[in-house]
Amino acid sequence: MENRLASVVENKGWFRLSRFGGALRYQWLRRRRLAVFLLAVMAAVQIVDLGLAFLGVLETTVTPVQSDFSVALLLIFCCSFPVAKSETTFLLRFGTPRTSVWLSNLLSLFLTGAVYLVLSALLNAVFAVPGVLLAQAGKNVTMAVPAPLGEYLLGGLLSTLKELPMQLLWILEYAAIFYFVACCLRRWKIPTILVLVGVPALLFTLLLLPAINEASAMLESGGQNELVALMLKFISWLQKAAKFVGENWQTIQGVAGGVTLVLGYLVMRGTRQPE
């Protein structure tokens, strides 16, 4: 029997044995439709916008060519919940190792965001052509940064390309964070919601409410100088906090991404499958 198992295992790399390929195939089938749908919506919006401008119904502005980073984040946020729940369940039912499921889940979220980033930039570039031409023809279209078409497109694409590596890292970081949250929601629904709502509420209560109460007390006692001093102290504290976060932002992002990457796996690994 060992020999027979060996015949299955040998000459087949981890990719085949781990069912990672199958997991990716499933993710591809799930994601591609959504990406195409979103791009179609984006294209439709651009066409309507330029069409109405051409007909003289409204005025519009051609923005520089860039990728839609915020929409990409929204996309992976929305995708992370079905990925962590129903899609994970489906793959595990067939006996797929959890490592493969976790890896394919994260890769799928990352690629969804990354592909959307690139395609949205290309789509913007495509629609910038009629936009710039309409602007040059004076058809109710203005350019945010006036420039000749070639320069406009090339400049925009180069700038997008320059920003892309950093944006991809952010996409990876947010994919890990959203996936971790989605895994927690699947495993501990109520506690996770309580933490997500409760921690900000607790911070607000502990930090802001005492300051507001103290300020109200001072106003009542007429100590305006003390109030000003207190406000300055508070603003100074906020500045320090903002400065610390600003200076260490990349480190904070890296740590958050790394920690949630590992925690996401651990939470998913220990989650019981529904019967």
Partner 1 sequence: MQDQIVPVFEAEALSQRFGKTQALDGLTFAIAPGQIVGLLGRNGAGKSTLLRIVSGQLKHKEGNAWLFGQRIYNNTPALASLCVIGDTPDFGKLKNIKQLFFVCAGLFPGWKKQRAMELLEQFELPYTKPLKGFSRGMKTAALLAVGLSSGALFTVFDEPSLGLDAVMRERFYDLLLEEKQQDPNRTFLLSTHLIDEVARVLDSAVMIDKGHLLCQAQMEDINRIYLSVSGAPDAVREETKGMTILREETVAGSLVRHLRLNSVTEGQRLKEEGKVQIAPISLQRLFVFLAQTHNGVEPDIEEADE
Of 98 and 187, nearer to partner 1 (C-beta) is 98
Q: Which two tokens stand for residue 196?
A: 């997500």
If we measure between CA atoms, which residue out of 42, 43, 47, 40 comes closest to residue 134?
Answer: 47
Tell me the residue type at 204. F
Tell me which stretch binds partner 1 (CB under 8 A): 58-66, 131-139, 205-213, 266-274.
266-274
Helices (H) and strands (E) in the chain, counts: 11, 2
139 contacts 87 by C-beta, under 8 angstroms: no
Q: Which residue, 70 or 273, is less far from partner 1 as judged by CB?
A: 273
Q: Say how far apart CA 101 and CA 92 lie, in whole Å.
A: 8
Q: Does residue 86 interact with partner 1 by CB under 8 A?
A: yes
Q: Which stretch binds partner 1 (CB under 8 A): 20-28, 135-143, 211-219, 243-251?
A: 20-28
Q: Which stretch binds partner 1 (CB under 8 A): 13-21, 175-183, 192-200, 237-245?
A: 13-21
Window contacting partner 1 (CB under 8 A); options: 19-27, 157-165, 204-212, 227-235: 19-27
Q: Which helix (H) or strand (E) holds 253?
A: helix 249-270
- What is the H or E stretch that residue 1 is in? none
Q: Indicate whether 187 belongs to the interface with partner 1 (CB under 8 A).
A: no
Give the bridge partners for 60, in sequence order: 141
* Site for partner 1 contains 24 (CB under 8 A): yes
Question: Would you tell me how many other CB atoms lie within 10 Å of the CB of residue 127?
Answer: 19
One residue of 60, 65, 75, 87 binding partner 1 per CB under 8 A: 87
The one among 45, 47, 55, 94 contacting partner 1 by CB under 8 A? 94
Residues that bind partner 1 (CB under 8 A): 1-5, 8-9, 12, 14, 16-19, 21-26, 29-30, 82, 86-87, 89-100, 269, 272-273, 275
